[in-house]
Structure 1
Amino acid sequence: MNSFFKNIALVLGLVIALGTIPFAMAMGNAAEGKVKAVQCAACHGTDGNSPVSAFPKIAGLGEKYLLKQLEDIKEGKRNVPQMVGQLDNFNEQDLQDIAAYFAAQPMQLTGSEAIAVRLNNGESVDGLIFGQKLYRAGNMETGVPGCMGCHSPTGQGNAPAGYPRLSGQYPEYIEVQLKAFRAGTRTNDGDTRTMRTVASQLSDAEITAVANYVAGLTE
């Protein structure tokens, strides 16, 4: 079995396994979370739609995913320098409430741009077409599975499974995260290492193209 089909099996197996787990209902109180999230507004906006690409949009990312990121950042499992100390005074219920609040907010689309990307062989290709192909079908030659297997065909993610929405996110932020997974500087994708496995096989051109494409995906 070549690396492509091994990765397809990995992703499908994870999706099937997650689908059999009785996920808990939302634990947070969004109304309480709105009050507690006031200090988040400076970077992420009052409704989770960050005004600048230096900070990710966290509106509509899914409560399970958001809660995990907050917990991981507080516990030091995910290194985000701008967040150091920001969560120290929040307990578990606070984090659940904040996650519930931002998960309930609609994300504003960033949109894609018409770009060209240069492949490793020197060829320049249409970035949107290339990004769409990679997102939907992956790259069989390098063993990269399509992103939509976990993040859905419309980029809305899978909230119960903890897979975040990508549609509408800043492409610059997605690009930074993919490169962090590839470099191994972001490691909080769990024991399955799904994102690190996929990102390790992505070229710079592929990362730029797919990040730009998914930023403009709509339902």
Structure 2
Amino acid sequence: MNKLLISLLVTLGITGVAHAAGDAAEGKQKVAVCAACHGADGNSLAPNFPKLAGQNESYLLKQLKDIKAGDRTVLEMTGMLTNLSEEDLADISAFFASQKIQLGQAAEDQVAAGQQIFRAGIADKGVAACTACHGPQGKGNNAASFPALGGQSAAYIESSLKKFAAGERANDPAGMMRDIAVKMNDAEIKAVAQYVQGLH
């Protein structure tokens, strides 16, 4: 897995990934329907819905395209993107990316275990460190469309990891997240999700 991860990162670094080119000002006019779940500025008050504020623009655009195309199933978003153009999706992505995320706080009893997993992985299980793709501060990698995680809701991170582990979510490049999440137990997932919530 580590060789696959390094190979993919090198390939993405060399070839790059198409960058989003949205207009944040235009996007602000197009996000009214998004606000119900994600908040007007992308800071969702409901922990089961992701915070979109400050997220990497290229990652947001990829997710919106995947949801619209049916490559990622999000029941709550069924039909919501049907009438939106690629330009609309790019503008919405640019708007949320331009907003400031409101940081959370990690549960103190989970920080040490979560930090260990995030920074070093779990060697005996073949779980790579989260920092390899998401960076030391959890800012992700916009060029590679890897998401920012720092400040994201722990409940959402936990749910996402469990969906990757179960194969319910499968729009990750080369199955990277599925390969990682399936090797983690519930306690490990909870710890890293809590750590990420307070990471900034």
TM-score category of the 2 structures, normalised to the smaller one? over 0.9
- Partner-residue secondary structure (3-state), 1:202: coil
Number of the residue aligned with 2:80: 86
C-alpha separation in 2, matches of 1:172 and 1:207: 10
- Once the two structures are superposed, what CA deviation does each residue of 1:142-185 show, in whole Å capped at 9, x if it has no partner? 11110000000111111111010100000000000000000000
Which of these residues, 166, 170, 176, is aligned with residue 183 of structure 1?
166
C-alpha separation in 2, matches of 1:24 and 1:15: 15
Structure 2 counterpart of 1:131, which letter? Answer: G
C-alpha separation in 1, matches of 2:82 and 2:18: 25
Q: CA deviation at 1:57?
A: 0.2
Bigger mean CA offset, 19-28 vs 129-138:
19-28
Cα RMSD (Å): 1.1
- Once the two structures are superposed, what CA deviation does each residue of 1:114-152 show, in whole Å capped at 9, x if it has no partner? 23xxxxxxxxxxx21111111111111111110000000
**Compared with structure 1, are the counterparts of its residues 69 and 46 closer, same or farther at alpha carbon in structure 2 (3 Å cutoff)?**
same
Aligned residue pairs, count: 200
- Partner-residue secondary structure (3-state), 1:186: coil
Structure that is richer in helix per residue: 2
The higher radius of gyration belongs to 1
Which of these residues, 91, 104, 121, is aligned with residue 138 of structure 1?
121
Structure 2 counterpart of 1:72, which letter? Answer: D
Q: Tell me the TM-score normalized by structure 1.
A: 0.88
- Partner-residue secondary structure (3-state), 1:46: coil
1:159 and 2:142 matched: yes
Number of the residue aligned with 2:186: 204
C-alpha separation in 2, matches of 1:18 and 1:84: 31
List runs of 5+ in structure 2 lacking aligned partners: none
C-alpha separation in 1, matches of 2:129 and 2:85: 37
Q: CA deviation at 1:26?
A: 3.7
Which of these residues, 105, 108, 120, is aligned with residue 114 of structure 1?
108
Which of these residues, 74, 99, 106, is aligned with residue 105 of structure 1?
99
C-alpha separation in 1, matches of 2:46 and 2:27: 22
Structure 2 counterpart of 1:93, which letter? Answer: E
C-alpha separation in 2, matches of 1:97 and 1:130: 38
Number of the residue aligned with 1:214: 196
- Once the two structures are superposed, what CA deviation does each residue of 1:87-136 show, in whole Å capped at 9, x if it has no partner? 11101110011011111111110111123xxxxxxxxxxx2111111111
2:63/2:72 contact within 8 Å kept: yes
Number of the residue aligned with 1:147: 130
C-alpha separation in 1, matches of 2:52 and 2:16: 25
1:53 and 2:47 matched: yes
C-alpha separation in 2, matches of 1:195 and 1:24: 21
- Partner-residue secondary structure (3-state), 2:32: helix
List runs of 5+ in structure 1 lacking aligned partners: 1-6, 116-126
